[in-house]
């Protein structure tokens, strides 16, 4: 007899349908799984046998062949345990009714209990699109509770699933999770001074621009960066679901309380290229994908291996990363904002009025050269973060709150969405020409800046994008010379960095 049970594989953020075909025939007892199974899938036969027996069913002592179709799609993980066990039970006549109306995923314990799987959220969303019914393990089902889809059911054990198919009992639905935005305890009001850097972060949040903080140790670069997400606009539901799907297929997993919170990733400078872009025999998302619709903060930027930084150039432009391996070629979304920080020199005190720099000109040039020109070209804002005075540190004056800054950011972002339905950082060259119209005075200002700074065409367009964001923050339809001047002021490395505190 042949049984067919439906389930779903996992291929990046997609969950293609898989038919679990079970054939039981006469012959020497054997249990064979075909259809490109990896090690965890091959080992499922031992879990399935024990789970069937310990659930009070009889395991057929005959020749059993399992085909996971389509055969050319790689299969990984323990998600096929439950459909394989159900296929064996149906093929051996131990399930009375046809289970083809349902889809099943779940790993089996030896006792017959169901255990959670990786990538449940993309699987559930794919089932929703096809208006199907999905049965999942109760443990971990809260991951899909916020989807509020009535055809998700959960079970604790293999026996519960069998009795549900036979109409002997009902299965509960996953608990509906109401998601509320959690307020971050960190706030910009805690940062003393650094008004220039705060202004740059506000512009970056409003327009989706990448930013580099440059300054001596202890001036607050990391403190500023860690508060950046508190002034970013709230995620849309579509953005939150995309971000949750990436977390679901990663090794860290997804928790329902994370839904709607922008990711903030801070990999150490010893991270490898694979750690950043993703990979493995069966590719998993890396840090840039885990930061999708959020922030990737690279502290001590020149300390990263140069080859590691270079892999960021493509996703910074395209918003996706293509990972090719022998077994699979997948595409992960990677639309993130890059925040980075660096010291002005190896010792960290170039231009510092308090500490004397001990680095040679060659050492400084070599240190900064670890970050390539093309990489810096993709960073819109280069911001100096100088040492603040003791008077500023001791001041009792409370700075502007993140909530007040976020209100301006939301207003500026709304203007961009109304104009183009995209952030200013994503404007194409033709869109820049249309949206960033300049008058004669502004054109002359840019020509003078070009002669002095000799910036590249890419930098030219980034200067215009930032100026457009500054104008949006002020609610102005046209870019004027003041907006351009401020945008040019945030190109410290184009000017040749020299801390303002040294003058």
d(CA 124, CA 118): 12
Supply angle C-alpha 429, 432, 434, rounded to 5. Answer: 115
The strand pair at 337-342 and 295-298 is best described as parallel
Q: How confident is the model at residue 451, as a pLDDT? A: 86
d(CA 126, CA 123): 5
- List the one residue out of 406, 472, 469, 385 whose CA is nearest residue 189: 406
Q: Tens-of-pLDDT digits for all 503 residues of the chain?
A: 789 999 999 988 999 999 999 999 998 999 999 999 999 999 999 999 999 999 999 999 999 999 999 999 999 999 999 999 999 999 999 999 999 999 999 999 999 999 999 999 999 999 999 999 999 999 989 889 888 899 999 999 999 999 999 999 999 999 887 655 566 788 999 888 889 999 999 999 999 999 999 999 988 999 999 999 999 999 998 999 999 999 999 988 888 778 889 999 999 999 999 999 998 888 899 999 999 999 999 999 999 999 999 999 999 999 999 988 777 788 999 999 999 999 999 999 998 888 899 999 999 999 998 998 889 889 999 999 998 887 877 777 788 999 999 999 999 999 999 999 999 999 999 999 999 989 999 999 999 988 888 888 888 999 999 999 999 999 999 999 999 999 999 987 765 554 443 33
Give 188-502's CATH code, choosing from 3.40.640.10, 3.40.470.10, 3.40.50.300, 3.40.50.720: 3.40.50.300
Contact 124, 149 (CB under 8 A): yes
State pTM to two decimals. 0.89
CATH number, span 2-165: 3.30.230.10
Q: How confident is the model at residue 170, as a pLDDT? A: 95
Supply angle C-alpha 373, 374, 376, rounded to 5. Answer: 65
Sheet holding 17-25, edge to edge: 30-34, 63-69, 17-25, 2-8, 103-104, 134-137, 152-155
d(CA 290, CA 266): 11
d(CA 179, CA 164): 30
Alpha helices, DSSP H, located in 169-299? 195-207, 221-226, 237-249, 273-277, 287-290
- Please, where in the chain does CATH 3.40.50.300 lie? 188-502
Angle, helices 120-129/237-249, rounded to nearest 10 degrees: 130
Per-residue tokens: 495: 């000017």
Q: How confident is the model at residue 240, as a pLDDT? A: 92
φ, ψ of residue 322 in degrees (nearest 5): -100, 125
Per-residue tokens: 94: 């131990």
* Burial zone of 394 (CB within 10 Å; 0-12 exposed, 13-18 middle, 19+ buried): exposed
């Amino acid at each position: 007899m042949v049984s067919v049970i439906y389930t779903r594989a996992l291929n990046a953020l997609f969950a293609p349908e898989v038919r679990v075909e079970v054939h039981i025939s006469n012959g020497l007892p054997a249990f064979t799984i075909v259809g490109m199974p990896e090690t965890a899938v091959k080992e499922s036969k031992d879990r399935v046998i024990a789970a069937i027996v310990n659930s009070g069913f009889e395991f057929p002592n005959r020749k059993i062949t399992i085909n996971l179709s389509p055969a050319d799609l790689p299969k990984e993980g323990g998600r096929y345990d439950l459909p394989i066990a159900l296929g064996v039970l149906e093929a051996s006549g131990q399930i009375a009714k046809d289970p083809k109306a349902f889809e099943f995923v779940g790993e089996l314990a030896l006792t017959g209990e169901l255990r959670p799987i990786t990538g449940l959220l993309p699987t559930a969303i794919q089932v929703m699109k096809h208006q199907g019914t999905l049965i999942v393990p109760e443990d971990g089902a809260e991951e899909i509770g916020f989807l509020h889809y009535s055809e998700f059911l959960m079970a604790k054990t293999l026996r519960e699933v069998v009795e549900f198919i036979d109409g002997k009992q009902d299965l509960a639905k996953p608990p509906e999770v109401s998601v509320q935005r959690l307020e971050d305890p960190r706030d910009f009001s805690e940062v003393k001074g650094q008004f220039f850097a705060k202004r740059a972060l506000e512009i970056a949040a409003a327009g989706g621009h990448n930013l580099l903080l440059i300054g001596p140790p202890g001036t607050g670069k990391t403190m500023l960066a860690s508060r950046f997400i508190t002034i970013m606009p709230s995620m849309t539901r579509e953005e939150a679901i995309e971000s949750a799907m990436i977390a679901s297929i990663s090794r860290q997993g997804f928790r329902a309380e994370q839904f709607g919170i922008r990711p903030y990733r801070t990999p150490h400078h010893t991270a490898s290229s694979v750690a950043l872009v993703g990979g493995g025999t069966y590719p998993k998302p890396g840090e840039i994908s885990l930061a999708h619709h959020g922030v990737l903060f690279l502290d001590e930027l020149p300390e990263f291996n140069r080859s590691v930084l270079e892999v960021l150039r493509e996703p910074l432009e395209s918003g996706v990363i293509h990972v090719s391996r022998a077994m699979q070629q997948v595409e992960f979304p990677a639309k993130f904002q890059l925040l980075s920080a660096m010291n002005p020199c190896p010792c960290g005190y170039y231009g510092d009025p308090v500490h004397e720099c001990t680095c040679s000109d060659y050492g400084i040039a070599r240190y900064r050269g670890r970050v390539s020109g093309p990489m810096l070209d993709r960073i819109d804002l280069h911001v100096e973060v100088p040492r603040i005075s003791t008077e500023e540190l001791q001041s009792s004056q409370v700075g502007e709150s993140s909530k007040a800054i976020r209100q301006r950011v939301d207003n500026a972002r709304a203007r961009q969405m109304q104009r183009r339905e995209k952030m200013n950082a994503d404007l194409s060259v033709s869109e820049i020409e249309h949206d960033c119209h300049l008058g004669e005075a502004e054109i002359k200002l840019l020509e003078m800046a070009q002669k002095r700074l000799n910036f590249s065409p890419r930098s030219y367009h980034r200067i215009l994008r930032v100026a457009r964001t500054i104008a949006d923050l002020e609610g102005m339809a046209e870019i004027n010379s003041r907006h351009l001047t401020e945008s040019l002021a945030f190109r410290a490395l184009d000017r040749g960095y020299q801390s303002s505190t040294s003058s």
